């Protein structure tokens, strides 16, 4: 059985949890258009999406590794950990992020995911 292809979830203290990493690109319409990298984000939502799509292409082609891009370019402070968010359960993340995270199989990467924070790529790691 290929465990990497299953949608396995961990149960911690009776709650179903997943582990994911992400790369966040904020834009001017983000709920907080600033980050640890930039005091004032000036890119548009379309520009953020273009960046995300380029990162996805670079990862899929093997040109770049997810963790490396997240460390360099993510607007989330999780960049310091290669984008790793650790374990989280339902109700802890914004709904579009949660839905995408729980729908992914371990080892799979999402397409662009839009939340109030910006545009994400999510990698399901556990």
Catalytic residue status for 117: yes
First-to-final CA distance of the chain: 17
Catalytic residue status for 27: no
- CB contact at 8 A, 122 and 100: yes
Catalytic residue status for 120: yes
Which residue in the list 22, 27, 35, 74 is annotated as catalytic?
22
Structure tokens at 61: 């082609």
Tell me the C-alpha distance between 53 and 95, whole Å: 21
- CB contact at 8 A, 126 and 19: yes
Q: Residue 16's beta-bridge partner residues? A: 11
Tell me the C-alpha distance between 102 and 93, whole Å: 11
Which residue in the list 20, 30, 74, 120 is annotated as catalytic?
120
Which residue in the list 20, 21, 76, 110 is annotated as catalytic?
76
Distances (CA, A) of 68 to 6, 13, 37: 25, 32, 15
Which residue in the list 17, 35, 74, 117 is annotated as catalytic?
117
Write out the catalytic residue numbers: 22, 76, 94, 117, 120
């Amino acid at each position: 059985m290929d465990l990497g292809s299953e949608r396995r979830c961990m149960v911690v203290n009776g709650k179903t949890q997943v582990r994911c990493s992400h790369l966040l690109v904020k834009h001017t319409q983000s709920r907080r258009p600033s980050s640890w990298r930039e005091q004032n984000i000036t890119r548009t939502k379309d520009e953020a999406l273009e960046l995300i799509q380029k990162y996805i292409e670079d990862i899929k082609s093997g040109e770049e590794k997810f963790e490396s891009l997240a460390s360099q370019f993510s607007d989330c402070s999780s960049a310091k950990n290669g984008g790793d968010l650790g374990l989280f359960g339902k109700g802890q993340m914004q709904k579009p992020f949660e839905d995408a995270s729980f729908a992914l199989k371990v080892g799979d990467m999402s397409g662009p995911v839009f939340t109030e924070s910006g545009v994400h790529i999510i990698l399901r790691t556990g």
